[in-house]
Amino acid sequence: MRPEPDIADFETQRPALLRLAYRMLGSMAEAEDVVQESWLRWRQADRGTIGNPPGWLRRVVSRLCLDQLKSARMRRETYVGTWLPEPVVDAPDPELLADNLTYSLMLALERLSPLERAAFLLHDVFEMPLADVAETLDREPASVRQLAVRARRHVRADRPRFPVAPEEGRRVAAAFFEAARLGDAAALKGLLAEDVSLRADGGGKVLAFPNVIQGADKAVRLFCGLARKYAGRLRLEALVTVDGLPAIVSRNGGTLQAMVLEVVEGRIAAIYVIRNPDKLERLSGVLG
């Protein structure tokens, strides 16, 4: 049986709506809730008066996300330790991650106000006309243009000039995992940039270092210490790509973690360690 027209119209837009909501919220679970709410509103709307269904749905999702972001910012003020976005593996759904926003840029978006984030994503990433963005945000076009300009200025510094090729990223990730597993200080020093930064998200549910670790020397000491402490317990699960960046999925005893690596000119410039089990459920499912 062919689906009803209203269902078909919505399902055609679902991947783009989910992508928008995930980019806005940094959480796939919250994004799915938002898209489901937009579906309920779509079913209740007088669709005969909707001339542009994709634009209408993007507006609904954007406004729902803005409401979510207001409460999310309050929740993150009480979040235990560093907050990192949920890691979403690229391969299973390439259409979902077809906007060239890397994991590090997702973090850059966190520094924007909700309105700046929405203006940047809708106008610069999803290529919505400025007038439609203004209507979505209930702002004047000139105000929205300024929001987008400010957001662009903040994000520009975090956009990689030379994205790492997948094969190179995989090679660096594999070498880094082996060096970290063995506690090989010389190999780690050769892989890490001098000003490398490490952030870890345990959400207060599993052990994770609470503050940002800055510099190759501190990072090497950390990984060598972990190798001694957990000798033989670290197991590689998979090498994957998360939001365009190479990532290592491993298990330390019974604890799953993902390490997303930002590679610049052959060296690791940033490491994002996601250990919060709530943020790894989807990844665990993808890996079976």
Region of residue 207 (left: phi > 0; alpha: psi -120 to 50; beta: else): beta
CB 119 within 8 A of CB 151: yes
What is the location of CATH 1.10.1740 in the chain? 1-78
Look-up: residue for tokens 């959400």? 203
pLDDT by residue (tens digit) across 186-202?
999 999 999 999 999 99
Record the tokens describing residue 47, joined without a space.
Answer: 């669709």
pLDDT tens-place values along the chain, 288 residues long: 444 657 888 888 898 899 899 989 988 889 999 999 999 999 888 877 888 888 899 999 999 999 888 776 666 667 788 899 999 887 545 555 555 677 888 888 888 889 999 999 999 888 889 999 999 999 999 999 999 999 988 887 666 556 788 899 999 999 999 999 999 999 999 999 999 999 999 988 998 888 899 999 999 999 999 999 888 788 999 999 988 899 999 998 788 999 999 999 899 999 999 999 999 988 887 776
Alpha carbon distance 26, 174 (integer Å): 26
- Residue 197, token pair as written in the block: 């930064």
CATH fold for domain 1-78: Rna Polymerase Sigma Factor; Chain: A (1.10.1740)
Fold for 103-159, please state it: Arc Repressor Mutant, subunit A (1.10.10)
Query: Are 187 and 219 in contact, with CB atoms under 8 Å apart?
Result: no
Residue ranges of the chain assigned to CATH 1.10.10.10: 103-159
Residue 284 is predicted with a pLDDT of: 82
Instruction: List every span in the chain annotated with CATH 3.10.450.50.
Output: 166-287
Instruction: Give the whole-number percent of the chain exceeding pLDDT 90.
Output: 49
Q: Tell me yes or no: is domain 166-287 CATH 3.10.450.50.
A: yes
